[in-house]
Chains A and B, each alone.
Chain A
């Protein structure tokens, strides 16, 4: 059964903000369907005794003093990579 239709690819692309072409949508639908078909076999595993793992070393609550430290990098250097800036800010295109 097809899990990932072209409509589903378009929904996922919209959620992840990638403007795919129609050709890409068609190709990806087939590929993603194959991948999801493969990973789906995980649902056969009995996990009733298992808690979810999100961190593997058991490290928790790593604290440091809440101190203000001067940055070694200037604002100008940090902004150098931005495509467009104005008065020390990053400039974006209009929202609406």
Chain B
């Protein structure tokens, strides 16, 4: 069996003793080694093979290792894990070994999944290209001169290259969806609060969510089934759906809205697969109306880039060179410990965001920027609410461009604009998914679906319908 196969089939084979967890994990570790030049992975988990052997021993002894038995997965390096470092791809956390593990990792391991490696990201999740990693960028699986998207660029490339069966990432403003679109895989963000964030490096706490990156919608639903739900260690978590996300059948006659602001700034060849998918959806008996939400244009992006840096500046206060992480050895007093450790430990983008956040929160600017943005956020939520009175899900592009060349976006604002189609769902805490639907110039394009809060079942149903109708099955030509 190979790692591209559906996760439930792999797990069933391991549970039934037809294939060993060891062989799956071995396959994964070999691919990671062979395709190291893409720099998707920051650190291999040394205990992965041992865990796989234990799972095989359990199967032999008649025990059930769980729904993800022996399935190798990769975690973005902002999840705390006990058997590797956790760096968030930042210099300031380079020496850090977590003393406890993220709830999500525990839940995945409890169902038999095997963590094989930690993946690269824009440091702390700040970026749309993985070029902000303090350890160097990840390359796109389809063209290694291009970016994979970000911030979950490592996880997206890992899945596109079949380095593991799935990856687990974080999505604050599009960090799972946009790299998945640019890498030709399925990227998901749940409703805010559906998945516990305990043990995940915080970026912007009123936005951060956790979800899988996979090769198909059914795999996403299965992983979500394992990780969703209340966690006593994260008071912001909400109740999950009572029924399984994986067992919902294909929906008939869905009411969809194609949102103008989620495609109209993209070039015609990038829009094309979305319009073709809409034609197929209509032919299959779904209704698709065209709607416009002008506030989702640059205003939503501006709103996001006030609120998120504000929360980042607050969350990144904890890196002080004292409790853990990098500490400048030459500092002569406490003040220098702060100033030097933070200057040396934070990359350029973390500094920009901390300073912008400090600016919009500082006295004299708070009302004009931060409070104003909080109110605009309310208006955006209200606008979405009106649409969801009429529609089951919204349709658009995930990203305005295909994967761009490494080093081509030199000013920070041009990278922020890559987020323009993903931040609206994040501002309103809505579940959203990106799935590959076509190519332009040989590079993948993602279709984005957005549903109302806690309506993951409908979202995944409709996504599965799109997946079946479009049947995108082109694979990247990988150069070892």
Contact = CB atoms under 8 A, between A and B. Distances in A.
A51 B334 CA distance: 41
Interface string A10-24: 001101111111001
A89 to B, nearest CB: 11
Contact of A39 (B206, B317, B327, B369): B369
Interface in A51-79: 51-57, 59, 62, 64, 72-73, 77-78
Interface residues on A, range: 35 or more
Given A35-B412, A43-B368, A4 B99 contact: no
Contact of A90 (B299, B323, B369): B323
B11 interface: no
A45 B99 contact: no
Given A18-B351, A57-B193, A93 B334 contact: yes
Interface string A26-42: 00100110111011111
A95 interface: yes
A32 B295 CA distance: 24
A36 B193 contact: no
B142 to A, nearest CB: 30
B472 interface: no
Interface string B413-454: 100100000000001110000000000000000000000010
Contact of B376 (A16, A47, A54): A47
Given A43-B368, A53-B381, A59-B236, A28 B355 contact: yes
Contacts of A21: 343
Contacts of B99: 73, 77-78, 80-81
Interface in B221-251: 232, 235-236, 238
A38 B323 CA distance: 36
B271 to A, nearest CB: 24
A94 interface: yes
B276 interface: no
A81 B342 contact: no
A56 B192 contact: yes
Interface in B331-372: 331-334, 336-340, 342-343, 346, 351-352, 354-356, 358-360, 362, 368-369, 371-372
Given A38-B302, A50-B376, A51-B375, 10 more contacts: A17-B339, A39-B306, A43-B372, A51-B378, A52-B374, A57-B429, A59-B236, A92-B334, A93-B334, A94-B333
